Amino acid sequence: MSIVQGYTTDKFSSLREVFEEQLKNGEDVGASIAVYLRGELVADIWGGYADEQKTTLWERDTIVNVWSVTKTMTFLVALMLSDRGELDFHAPVAKYWPEFAQQGKGSIEVRHVMGHTSGLAGFDATLKPEDLADWDLCTRALAAQAPWWEPGTASGYHLVTQGYLIGEIVRRITGTSFAQFLKSEVTDVLGADFYVGLPESEESRVSLVIPGDGNVLEGLDPHSIAYRSWMSPPIDFTWPWHRWWRAAEIPASNGHGNARSVATVQSIVANKGEFNGKRFFSEKTGAQIFETQAHGVDLVLGIEANFGMGYGLASSVTPLGPHGCFWAGLGSLVIMDQDFGITIAYTPNKMQFVPGSTRGANIARAAVEAALR
């Protein structure tokens, strides 16, 4: 049996070769890759193993924690609410969530939350890991704390907090949770196999993440914003091994899906708000993605970051076109380009701590080169 399963068009067959090499040399253990080009699924492949011991094959319907790629789902939902006239990115967060105005945060705008410039990159409150599953506890804590720097002046990547911040705005506007809105308004509509808060019925399909080499705290000043962000609470990359994490609603970090489901949803962005015969937002609304909110060395990531309205934009670290955007999550990656009408998604189980996964970059490069042929 071939090491890689699934389908590609002839034009995208080179993608299979790149993936096979990464599985053979051990860079990947198991993963899935999907590419949509102008609405057509031109690559839908998977391979390797679903477990570190390499006893269980990665199957067509295997799903995995995609970490911060989950954030792209919150950005999409926010764009939908903006298009409906229910959310103004330039309005104060407190307009929708009055309690948020505590500690001088009354002037923080929704766009600051979208672009990681709100100053709320971590929690002041002392939280146990399992507290992240308590939505009300986490949102109350964020509402009650002061920003760690002057909002709007710089980005500091909101590792876990961004999901609660955007999600609570969504909840205040819609009266339902972010996860329920995503399900009823997006994933159910498109038939996308993606979850924020994994039902127990889907547990048998989960590939548990494999922590990679490296230490995110190495070389960090214990008093720095970066250190404080990673330590509130101290992030443990084995959290996805536990049911409490998979079942919770943590919209910045705990989405479960595969490349096909991620690419299906984010193709809405690549196709300027419309996909599979349904319009989710207007082209004008989608253009807001490319309004830069912060561009410079990020206070948490320590590298150059160019944040649009949620999504990452082109920088020296991530060469993209003028209408390209992306986000990544400890190995997982999704890229959309409106000029090409392409969406590229890669969801591995083996994590990578270094920003700008070389594995993901290899996949993206092969997909773009194929599209340009």
Q: What secondary structure does DSSP assign to 244-266, as a single string?
A: HHHHS--TTT-EEE-HHHHHHHH
**DSSP class per residue in 68-91:** GGGHHHHHHHHHHHHHTTS--TTS
The DSSP secondary-structure symbol of 53 reads T
Number of domains in the chain: 1
Q: How far apart are the first and last CA of the chain?
A: 29
Asked whether the whole model's pTM tops 0.85, one would answer: yes
Distance CA 371, CA 26 (A): 27
Positive/negative CA dihedral, 251, 313, 334, 235: negative
φ/ψ bin of 88: left (φ > 0), alpha (ψ from -120 to 50), beta (otherwise): beta
User: Strands of 195-196's sheet, edge to edge?
Assistant: 195-196, 255-257, 63-65, 206-207
Closest CA to 302 of 227, 249, 244: 227
Range of the domain at 314: 4-372
In the prediction, which pLDDT does 7 show? 97
User: In angstroms, how far is CA 293 from the centroid of its own chain?
Assistant: 17
Residue written as token pair 């997982």? 332
Report helix, strand or coil for 341.
Answer: coil
Distance CA 270, CA 234 (A): 35
Residue type at 334 in one-letter notation: V
Q: Are 229 and 156 in contact (CB under 8 A)?
A: yes
Residue written as token pair 């993608």? 15
Please compute, for residue 124, the number of CA atoms within 13 A of its CA located in the half-sphere on the CB side: 12
Distance CA 212, CA 215 (A): 9
Report helix, strand or coil for 142.
Answer: helix
In the prediction, which pLDDT does 355 show? 54
**E strand segments, the chain:** 4-8, 30-37, 40-48, 63-65, 195-196, 206-207, 255-257, 274-275, 278-279, 294-297, 304-307, 324-329, 332-337, 342-348
Low-confidence ranges of the chain (pLDDT < 70): 1-2, 354-357
In the prediction, which pLDDT does 45 show? 98
In the prediction, which pLDDT does 353 show? 72
Burial (CB count within 10 angstroms: exposed 0-12, middle 13-18, buried 19+), residue 13 = exposed
CATH number at residue 264: 3.40.710.10
Q: What are the C-alpha distances in Å from 324 to residues 29, 155, 315, 340?
A: 29, 20, 11, 9
Q: Are 10 and 43 in contact (CB under 8 A)?
A: no
Q: How many CB atoms lie within 10 A of CB 90?
A: 8
In the prediction, which pLDDT does 93 show? 98
Q: Are 66 and 258 in contact (CB under 8 A)?
A: no
